[in-house]
Amino acid sequence: MEIKQLDLVIRLAAEQCSGALERLGVARAQWQSVSQQLQQLKDYQAQYVVQAQRESQQGISVQALAEGRRFIGELDGLIATQQQSVDQQAANLQTVTEQWIEAARYQEAVERLREQRLSEQAQRLERHEQQRVDDLYAVQHVMRASGLS
């Protein structure tokens, strides 16, 4: 593959890596958002349970106690649903992270290939130049030896 072709592949790989990095940022933000919501639900439930315990010690009606338990059950359901969202976002974050890592590795590999090709090209040019110098020296040596100088 020629250097110009590699430059194009590198540019495309860099765009792919940049896009993957943007998706990673979005996925991380989404995961953080649903995680915060989960924590808020857990905190609210804990506060509600503490408040309900205080109120039950002061004496509340059976209906209020049943209503409190029902509400705590609803919170448990919301927390379970939110935990599923967190798990889904964590899995998505993992997938997007792996895609970004793969894109970065590919870009790095193509860049290394370009550097290798540039090095090989420089070595070929150096060998070619050395061959020209050797040929010129050989011609001059033959000319001197034959007395044609």
Amino acid at 89: Q
User: How many structural domains is the chain composed of?
Assistant: 1
Q: Flag whether 16 is in a domain.
A: yes
The domain in which residue 104 lies consists of 3-120
Q: Flag whether 145 is in a domain.
A: no
| Cα gap 99→26, rounded to integer Å | 14
Q: Flag whether 89 is in a domain.
A: yes
Q: What is the DSSP string of 26-55?
A: HHHHHHHHHHHHHHHHHHHHHHHHHHHHHH
Q: Flag whether 87 is in a domain.
A: yes
What average pLDDT is seen over the chain?
93
Q: Flag whether 147 is in a domain.
A: no
CATH code assigned at 46 = 1.10.287.1700
Report residue 53's pLDDT band, with 50, 70 and 90 as the boundaries: confident
Q: Flag whether 113 is in a domain.
A: yes
Q: Is the pLDDT of residue 52 over 90?
A: no
Q: Flag whether 130 is in a domain.
A: no
| Cα gap 113→10, rounded to integer Å | 10
pTM of the full predicted structure?
Answer: 0.74
Q: Is the pLDDT of residue 38 over 90?
A: yes
At residue 145, the pLDDT reads: 83
